[in-house]
């Protein structure tokens, strides 16, 4: 017992700590002495992370997560798998495999756009892609035609393609935008400066992100004037197209700045050279394209966490798995 003397009487005072329960003592020790946590180990304030809904593009799948666009190159000279899917049946079977792995869209192309590539004749490009598009579209799959040529796009749409992926963003063929507007299909508008045989000489920027955004504005304005519905236009910064490896990394680190253009974003970094350079051997030899899939999957995870609309990849299952992980984390953060 502790006593205290006052002017009027001697009064007993019970020690505060004597009648505290263990729980009260624990809470007082954790909260009352400048501890930044409520209880022991639980923050007093939690920042709620709101998950931004992905854009919906009319006419395309709407899975509520980052879409996966699987690549089918019907070419003899693509940088990642040149010649592997050149034959009709091989290309069709590959497309079916990608669908089985979970691709939302299959992007079929008959022209290699690797640096230094020579363009095929229109008739050859048509010969490569049309049979593949017809067979894959017959399964009900969502097919995209990867072409810069109006003639190819027109016939591909007639054969079942539901999206046009134009790496020139309407610059290589002036009639492309009008065709897309009249057909009503979604359109991927990519940043572009020159054809493959000359594009890397154009990889000069003051600020690559600001410059690419500024150069894409006229492309989007042209699409608007042609009559393409704005909600059907998807943008692609054009990784590797008139870009150095350093430019690609800068674009990736500042992707959020493209929000100013107000369009869904498709990112195509799968197996690209800048990943091979990052993973180079001790002697400086770039890692071969097919050995860059793990790095591609790592980027898919980052992009899915950033709620990018879509990724264009060669290895679909790995990207779908990465997106599933990202979605689960986003769900936890937003709960």
- Give me the active site residues, please: 272, 312
- H or E element, residue 245: helix 245-253
Residue 88's closest CA among 128, 48, 33?
128
Counting beta carbons within 10 angstroms of the beta carbon of residue 45, is it exposed (0 to 12), middle (13 to 18) or buried (19 or more)?
exposed
Query: Helix or strand or coil: residue 187?
Result: strand
Residue 189's closest CA among 159, 213, 158?
213
How many Å separate Cα 290 from the centre of its chain?
19
187 DSSP β-pair partners: 164, 233
Angstrom CA distances, 80 to 50, 128, 201, 226, 232, stand at 37, 18, 22, 34, 29
Query: Helix or strand or coil: residue 264?
Result: coil
Half-sphere exposure of 332 (CA within 13 A, CB side): 7
C-alpha to C-alpha distance for 304 and 320, rounded to whole angstroms: 10
C-alpha to C-alpha distance for 152 and 53, rounded to whole angstroms: 34
């Amino acid at each position: 017992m502790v006593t205290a003397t006052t002017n009027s009487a001697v009064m007993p005072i019970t020690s505060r700590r004597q009648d505290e329960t263990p729980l009260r003592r624990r809470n007082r020790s954790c909260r009352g002495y400048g501890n930044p946590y409520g209880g022991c180990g639980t923050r007093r304030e939690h920042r709620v992370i709101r998950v931004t809904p992905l854009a919906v593009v009319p006419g395309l799948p709407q899975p509520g997560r980052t879409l996966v666009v699987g690549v089918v190159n019907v070419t003899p000279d693509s940088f990642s798998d040149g010649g592997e899917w050149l034959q009709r049946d091989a290309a069709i079977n590959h497309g079916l495999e990608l669908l089985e792995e979970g691709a939302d869209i299959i992007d079929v192309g008959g022209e290699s756009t690797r640096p230094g590539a020579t363009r095929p004749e229109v008739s050859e490009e048509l010969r490569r892609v049309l049979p593949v598009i017809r067979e894959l579209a017959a399964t009900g799959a969502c097919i995209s035609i990867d072409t810069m040529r109006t003639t190819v796009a027109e016939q591909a749409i007639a054969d079942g393609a539901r999206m046009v992926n134009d790496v020139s963003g309407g610059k290589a063929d002036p009639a492309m935008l009008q065709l897309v507007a009249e057909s009503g299909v979604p359109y991927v508008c990519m940043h572009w400066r020159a054809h493959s045989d000359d594009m890397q000489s154009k990889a000069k920027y003051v600020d690559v992100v600001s410059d690419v955004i500024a150069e894409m504005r006229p492309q989007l304005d042209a699409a608007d004037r042609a009559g393409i519905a704005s909600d059907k236009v998807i943008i692609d910064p054009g990784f590797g197209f008139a870009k150095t490896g350093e430019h690609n990394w800068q674009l990736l680190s500042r992707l959020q700045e493209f929000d100013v253009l107000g369009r869904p974003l498709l990112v195509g970094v799968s197996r690209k050279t800048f990943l091979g350079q990052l993973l180079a051997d001790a002697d400086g030899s770039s890692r071969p394209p097919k050995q860059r899939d793990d790095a591609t999957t790592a980027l898919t995870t980052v992009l899915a966490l950033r709620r990018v609309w879509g990724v264009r990849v060669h290895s679909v299952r790995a990207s779908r798995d990465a997106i599933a992980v990202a979605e689960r984390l986003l769900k936890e953060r937003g709960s």
